[in-house]
Amino acid sequence: MLACSAVLFVPLALPLFMGRVFIFNDLNWFHLPMRYLYQQALRHGDSILWTPAIFSGVYVMGEGQVGLLHPLHLLWYAVLPLQTAFALELVFNYVAAFAGMLWFLRRLRFSVSAALFGAMLFAFSGFNLLHHHHLNMIAVVAHLPWLLAAADVVMADDRRQARVAGFAAMALIMGSTFLLGFPQAVWWNLIALAAFAAWRAHGEQHWRRLGPCAAAIGIGVLLGSIQIVPSADAAAHSVRSSLTRDFALMYSLHPFNLVQFWAPYALEGGVYGRLEFPWVHELGIYSGAILPVALIWVWLRRGALPARQSLIVAATAFAAFTLILALGRHGGVDWLLTYLPVLGSLRAPARYIMLTQFALAILAAIALDDLRDVVAGRSDPPARSLAPLWIPAGLGLVTFVFNLHVLPLGARVFASAAVAAPGLLFMLAVTALVFFAGRRAPWAMAPLIVLTAADLAWWGVRYVYQDKPRTIAALLQDASPPPPGGGPAYAAAPPEALAEGPFCCDLLVMKGYRLTSGYVGLFPATRHPLESDEALRLAGTEWRIDAKGVRVPWPGGVPRARLADASGASSTGTARVDTDRPGHIAVDVDAPGPRILALTERFHNGWTASADGRPLPTVAVEGDFLGAAIDAGVHHVEFRFLPRSFVVGMVGSCAGVVLLAGALFFLRRADGPDEAASGPKRQAPL
């Protein structure tokens, strides 16, 4: 089991040891260049809250997805080379997911083998591998089993000191998830936590312990407020706040995709997307043939598993509920996904499939434990027919008929037989191995585990490697460098023009450009459309970058700093930039009269200005760009970025630290005698 998991780790870890990075989709377009800017700011002592390199300025702390203040990110990107830190961040997500699931299942008294099996199914699930390029999403998902395991300690452990440690772990894990900057995945974790805590409280009859769990989560929210408040600020000033309810229903899972459960490669292109671009990573729901087969097995065997019956029912119900959520507009829950506060701004209901796969992985671990007991003679083999095990395989055979293209239906929906065949073979083989193991064939267990690992690799690892890892130098080698001169080169690289090219979106910041266009999760709301000529002019654009990475002159951009009249039109006087760093700009000005000092930096109310040490009012030039009202004369004007939302968030996080320390002190003294010491320890029921 451990060997199979190690083999699955190898292709993910290879770039770390080869000096390369994965480059698919958002890794190349967003995550790598943003982490480059982050590392540069750390090493040069600049502000990490703001970058001038995207959209002529972005509140990157509020954008959130780099996880700027997460302790591990601060360590990795301050100390390690960029390639190493970036590759390590990706592979660490899977290490953390595996280890957390292993601990969680051991907490539920699964055997080591079953816990390892469940950990493999979760860490290398279809969701986690297909979304490998959404770094911070998978990082938050990796916290899920850790959070549930810590909650289990609080809910079920009879040792006082263990419960105190579990309380602290819940708060710290929750704070860590918020610091990674993907609120949608935090929401998924909270759904799972609520369901698990309710199930555990019912089984243990420890309803009062839900209070400490809730308190730990509340403290965790405070700990993460240094990221939460800036993210709320950035979201409120982004286009996200004005989107229609249809945005929340983007990438609802069309029911036709349920075919993937028994025929993962049957659909043309892998998935079916009627209303959106059919990205496999958004609409792919397969996570191994073992999941549907194990689901049937545990329900056939539930009478023989009295200690697991409650968990079987709870996990199955949770899987069904989250699958309905994944259907989105097709599942009749669009009212829930679009009208509740916060949820209305989260898109892609199909991503709830992560929780479905998590629950099914638990059921698969139950099935493996039971199969091992049957094979070893510790449990009687099933008395009833095992024919229902073949239902998924039978459905796969029926679906395969459409892949033969002998019927007039689905010619453009179903893939060829050659493409679909591996999925059918995996389904038939896994079903046969479970069937024979259930008939006490000891030889079936090892092939079942190996085949499951191969199944996960064929589905997920192949997707990870659809774009081969490259060195950063090779990734950038064909792009034109900025012209000589030493100053920033302002260029526009619009995503729609470069979507099919190698230099899409933000990548060119790593070549030394400051982009007046860009790509972020929270696009800033602006008066002038971001890609309009007027926006590019006011941003000081000097160059356009074509799809091959070649720069061509773009005349008309205004100077970095200029004096303007009240309307924003350029006026007489001089303005010379003295300091131009992220979050800190200084300009020497000689104004013949009252003027507006206008910059090509994007406006945010977190900017403050001063002239010769005296505060100045900041203004939004043309509604979008930073400026300050100055009097006549010679002045040294400084702009600094420190938004109120960051300060409020920092205060909240400090309060969280104080509350956590106080809560731990109180719990150590007030929780009563150690129950384990005062009587025999009661085994927690499953």
Secondary structure, 3-state, 560-578? CEEEECCCCCECCCEEEEE
Rounded CA Rg of the chain = 28
Q: What is the mean pLDDT of each run of 10 residues along the chain (686 residues)?
A: 92 95 92 96 96 95 95 97 97 98 97 97 98 97 98 94 96 97 94 97 92 96 97 89 75 94 95 86 96 98 94 98 93 75 74 97 98 94 92 96 85 90 98 96 96 97 95 89 84 64 80 90 90 92 83 90 83 91 96 93 96 93 94 94 97 97 88 44 39
Per-residue pLDDT at 407 = 83
Burial of 342 (0-12, 13-18, 19+ CB in 10 A): exposed
Q: Yes or no: say if 539 and 636 are a contact pair by the CB < 8 Å rule.
A: no
197 Cβ contact partners less than 8 Å away, ≥ 6 residues apart: 151, 155, 210, 213
Type of residue at 280: V
Q: Structure tokens of 495?
A: 């995503």
Residue type for 330, please? H
Q: Which secondary structure element, helix H or strand E, spans residue 633, and what is its range?
A: strand 633-641
- Which phi and psi angles does 574 have, rounded to 5°? -125, 150
Determine contact, residues 263/400, Cβ cutoff 8 Å.
yes
Buried b (16+ CB within 10 A) or exposed e, 473-509: eebbeebbebeeeeebbbbbbbeebbeeebbbbbbbb
Q: Which structure tokens are listed for 347?
A: 């898109």
Residue 215's nearest CA partner among 264, 172, 171 is 171
Cα dist from 164 to 73, 169, 477, 662, whole Å: 27, 9, 53, 12
- Dihedral sign of CA atoms 44, 46, 51, 53 in order: negative
509, 53 in Cβ contact below 8 A?
yes
For the sheet with 618-621, list strands across it.
Answer: 561-564, 595-602, 625-630, 618-621
Report whether 594 contacts 630 (CB < 8 A): yes
Place of tokens 């773009």: 554
Pure H helices in 328-352: 334-339
Distance CA 253, CA 531 (A): 32
Helix (H, G, I), strand (E, B) or coil at 602: strand
Provide the H-helix boundaries in 237-308: 280-283, 290-300
Check: CB of residue 261 under 8 Å from CB of residue 294.
no
> Is this prediction's pTM over 0.85?
yes
The answer to whether the CB of 394 falls within 8 A of the CB of 424 is no
Q: What is the largest CA-CA distance in the chain?
A: 97
Q: Name beta bridge partners: 639.
A: 585, 609
- Predicted local confidence at residue 658, as pLDDT: 97
Distance, in Å, from the CA atom of 474 to the CA atom of 20, rounded to the nearest integer, reads 9
Six token digits for residue 257: 């995709």
If you count DSSP H runs as helices and E runs as strands, how many of each does the chain have, helices first?
27, 13
Q: List, in order, residues 6 or more apart from 192 with CB less than 8 Å away.
A: 144, 147, 148, 318, 355, 358
**Cβ proximity of 51 and 58 under 8 Å:** yes
User: Which tokens hold the place of 16?
Assistant: 């770390």
Q: Where are the domains of the chain?
A: 251-440, 478-553, 561-641
| Cα 418 from Cα 140, distance rounded (Å) | 37
CA 463 to chain CA mean position, Å:
17
Tokens 């592979």 belong to: 91
Contact 197, 174 (CB under 8 A): no
Element (H, E) at 190: helix 183-204
Is 230 within 8 Å of 378 (Cβ atoms)? no
Hey, what's the torsion of the CAs at 249, 255, 256, 262, to 10 degrees? 130
For domain 561-641, say whether CATH 1.10.3470 is its number: no
Q: Distance between CA atoms of 131 and 211, rounded to whole angstroms?
A: 34
